[in-house]
Amino acid sequence: MHIEVLDKGYVRLIDHMGSDLTVVNAARVSYAKQSPALTDKDIRLISFLAREGHTSPFRHAMLQLEVYAPLMVARQWWKYVVGSAHYEGTGDSLEAWNESSRRYITEEPAFYVPAAGEWRQAPENSKQGSGGTVSWELGEKYTEELMRYTELGLEKYEAALAEGICAEQARLFLPAYGLYVRWYWTASLQSAAHFLQQRLAHDAQREIQAYALAVLDIVKTLFPVTAEELLGMS
């Protein structure tokens, strides 16, 4: 599966381990039992596990994704790797992250630039997040401003490389937050569900919401019963 996100980004399924049946059999091993195929009884078991917060069986199924996203999205996402062994009630350390590095590669930089109709207002009653869309004229102004700023940084980056500056320092000229980065994310099904529960919330940043929706599509395809019972999303 390959799902395009924003203007240049994507989420791509690389590999996965297990299915909804994996969750069932991880739970049934407590009684030395195993289900050869998913039944209605097994679906009720998944519902019980999700409802009662018995999360460990969901950590026996895994998925591996390749993500291409602006740095501002990547750094929000990275918090789930840092916290995966610590957030309450899970003890989940089955998560890994490997990211491309501009110390080693000099591929053509790509940047996220919101279109004129995508700029949002500051929220009225909060210090974070965003409100409604700004006027087209104001959005167009800042799209053009950001494009000019990005082009200037790119010119200086390429000039530094051309004059022999090492890539790991030349990258300092690249405007950071909109720069697209690529990484592999490997996570347990339970950890992915935790990410989705938070980043599909109404108050999550809209750009990472778009990526969470792509991850949700993949989870629903691979683990349809768990997506329904653990996330309430069929």
Q: Quick count: other Cβ atoms within 10 Å of Cβ 199?
A: 21
Model pLDDT, residue 94: 61
Model pLDDT, residue 106: 66
Model pLDDT, residue 66: 97
Catalytic residues: 199
> What strands lie across the sheet with 9-17, from one edge to the other?
2-5, 9-17, 62-70, 180-188, 95-99
Q: What is the mean pLDDT of residues 163-172?
A: 91
**Cα 70–Cα 72–Cα 77 angle in degrees, nearest 5:** 95
Model pLDDT, residue 223: 96
Model pLDDT, residue 89: 47
pTM: 0.87
User: What domains can be seen in the chain, in order of their start residue?
Assistant: 2-104+182-231 (3.30.1360.170), 116-173 (no CATH)
**Non-local CB neighbours of 83 within 8 Å, separated by 6+ positions:** none
CA atoms within 13 A on the CB side of 211: 28
Of 5-19, 38-52, 93-107, where does mean pLDDT reach its minimum?
Answer: 93-107
Using one digit for the tens of pLDDT, what is the confidence trace for 29-82?
A: 877 888 888 999 999 999 999 999 888 899 999 999 999 999 999 998 988 775
Strand 180-188 versus strand 95-99 pairing type: antiparallel
| DSSP tally for the chain: helices H, then strands E | 8, 5
Using one digit for the tens of pLDDT, what is the confidence trace for 168-226?
A: 899 899 998 999 999 999 999 999 999 999 999 888 899 999 999 999 999 999 999 99
120-to-133, 211, 223 alpha-carbon distances in Å: 4, 18, 34
State yes or no: pLDDT of 141 exceeds 70: yes
State yes or no: pLDDT of 88 exceeds 80: no
